[in-house]
Amino acid sequence: MAALLEVKGLKAFYGQTQALHDVSFEISDGGITTLLGANGAGKTTTLRAICNMVRTEGEVRFDGKDIVGRATEEIVRLRIAHVPEGRGTFTTLTVDENLRIAAYTRRDKQGVKDELERVFTYFPRLKERIQQQAGTLSGGEQQMLAIARALMLKPRLMLLDEPSFGLAPLIVQEIFRILRRINQEEGVSILLVEQNAALALDLADYAYVLETGGVVMADRAEVVKNDEGIRKSYLGY
């Protein structure tokens, strides 16, 4: 399969400190790729670098086009949806407004309405809470809202930063089932950052492991999952 996103020699900086040294990887079109690694390895920074939220050097090609240096909102408009760390929802806006904001440039009211309905088929819980302030949702519901809003952007690629963070196992399972459906039914490619390696390896086709700002291992998810040697040395379990 052709690569949807190609990252080559990516460097990222917070002021003077360099957080990524040389990160290279690929995301296949239609696949689910996971980025694993210990705390501080640079996973979040990698997602931020793709969306130009930190100072970046190197090469990021989306669909063949180099996107390094473009404004974040323009990258998003190429249909790369980023669900940030810590459930980024607009807490004072309602569920409805949180979803509609992702479609604010669209003039076809009916189209937006249909889109909302389609998103609600994945997240029926949100439909019940449509007028509720996002800040009053449960943690799991907020994560769902963040993913639902990303889906409203009609993305080709979804970047997810630890969607399981701080959630009960049952909710996490539900969210991961939905992610699989989104990948299969909508054809959305996914780049998943996770602390919970076992969970991520179950969902993904391909895995990369980051360590202190560089890629140290890459293989098919199945291989990583079944190779105790790799797991022990890179993932610590």
Please, what is the end-to-end C-alpha distance for the chain in angstroms? 31
Select the binding partner of residue 14 from other proteins, ligand ATP, Mg ion, none (C-beta < 5 to 8 A, by kind).
Answer: ligand ATP
Q: Radius of gyration of the chain from Cα atoms?
A: 17
- DSSP assignment string, 45-71: HHHHHHTTSSEEEEEEEETTEE-TTS-
Q: Give residue 201's Cα distance to chain centre.
A: 15
The reply to whether 212 sits near other proteins by the rule CB under 8 A is no
The reply to whether 52 sits near Mg ion by the rule CB under 5 A is no
Residue with the two structure tokens 């998103």: 119
What single-letter amino acid sits at 60?
Answer: V
Select the binding partner of residue 232 from other proteins, Mg ion, ligand ATP, none (C-beta < 5 to 8 A, by kind).
Answer: none
Q: Please state, in angstroms and rounded to a whole number, the distance separating the CA atoms of residues 166 and 169.
A: 9
Angle (CA) 229-207-203 rounded to 5° is: 105
CA dist 87 to 30, 32, 138, 145, 149, Å?
Answer: 24, 20, 11, 8, 11
The reply to whether 129 sits near other proteins by the rule CB under 8 A is no
Q: Minimal distance in Å, beta carbon 161 to Mg ion? A: 6
Q: Minimal distance in Å, beta carbon 195 to ligand ATP? A: 6
Q: Minimal distance in Å, beta carbon 175 to other proteins? A: 18
Count of beta carbons in the 10 Å neighbourhood of residue 197: 21
The reply to whether 44 sits near Mg ion by the rule CB under 5 A is yes
Select the binding partner of residue 92 from Mg ion, other proteins, ligand ATP, none (C-beta < 5 to 8 A, by kind).
Answer: other proteins
Three-state DSSP class for residue 161: strand
The reply to whether 91 sits near other proteins by the rule CB under 8 A is yes
Select the binding partner of residue 24 from ligand ATP, Mg ion, other proteins, none (C-beta < 5 to 8 A, by kind).
Answer: none
How is residue 187 written in tokens?
């054809």
Q: Minimal distance in Å, beta carbon 182 to other proteins? A: 17
Query: Interface residues for other proteins in 46-65 (CB under 8 A)?
Result: 51, 53
**Binding positions for other proteins, rule: CB under 8 A:** 51, 53, 71-73, 76-77, 81-82, 84, 88-93, 97, 100-106, 133, 135-138, 149, 153
**Binding positions for Mg ion, rule: CB under 5 A:** 44
